[in-house]
Structure 1
Amino acid sequence: MKKLFFLMLTVLISLSCENIDSKEEKMLYNYLIEQDYLSKINSSKKQIKKKEVSGNFISEDNDFLKYTYVSNTNITINSTYLFDEKGCFEIGLDVDYENVDEASSVANQFKQYVDEQKSFVDFKEDNFLLRWINQDKSRTVEVDIANASSGKIAITIFANE
């Protein structure tokens, strides 16, 4: 009877941990969709400020904006926007995890997010770099997963002009 109790307790704990992870993953995926980073290339600084969450603002200057998002399970996304006279030409997302097991999951979520965008058709995977180019070759998305085992992923979205 005692063995059965511990077995049931172990199963319940495992299931509840899986639910927490999937909720966190879903929340993060929804955040990526809500921010719609792929559409922000060539946007003005004013347009990006309207779309970003003002409470996450960190710093800015003439050609730079930075925001930080921290989830309730210590996943941090630092969003950096670089501007020129045409608007935003590069977006950098540095994603840090306290739980390194979540890194590959979020890389897969971002891959799913980009794959769902019908305009990004050219996908290549080279070692630890995932790369997409849109149909008219005006934008590129790169996901660097080389440091995923240490809890870091770097995502770069840039204009090809």
Structure 2
Amino acid sequence: MRNGNRRGKPVEKARHFWPTTKRLISYLRPWKWGVLLSILMAIVSVALNIVSPKILGQATTDIYDGILKGVQQMKLGLHITKYPIDFNHVGQICLIVVALYILSGLFSFGQQVLMTWISQKVVYNLRQDFKEKMGRLPIKYYDQHSNGDLMSRMVNDMDNISGTLQ
């Protein structure tokens, strides 16, 4: 469905998107260094994942060159018992690639743990502020609005914020 959700209702557009985003960023401010560290860890993880196949390509090239040399020697009439492939070099390359993938995984895991911790702290603060706000509202407000609807929206919004931050 193009302009609706699964239930056929039209998708609501966010009202006051930028002011709300600024408020969410203000909640992240106490953990700005953690967020920056998390972004840096994600960049390093992605960079290691990008570099690894390029290095692994060197091992593939070494194997291909060894097979090509063996085929050329056989065409010249030389009898070969094995192809001239430097398996020590190929093994070293494979160990380097495995180490890079392990490092990438560790950086990715660290980034996820850090952002999960930060998002839980932010959501906790949001819930505390929501609780204070609910305590300040007059009784008349609760008479005009369904309490279950308010709580349902709050829980859903907090879950969405937590998921987005993670």
TM normalised by structure 1 equals 0.28
Larger Rg: 2
Structure 1 or 2: more helix by fraction:
2
| Larger RCO, structures 1/2 (Cα 8 Å, 6+ apart) | 2
TM normalised by structure 2 equals 0.28
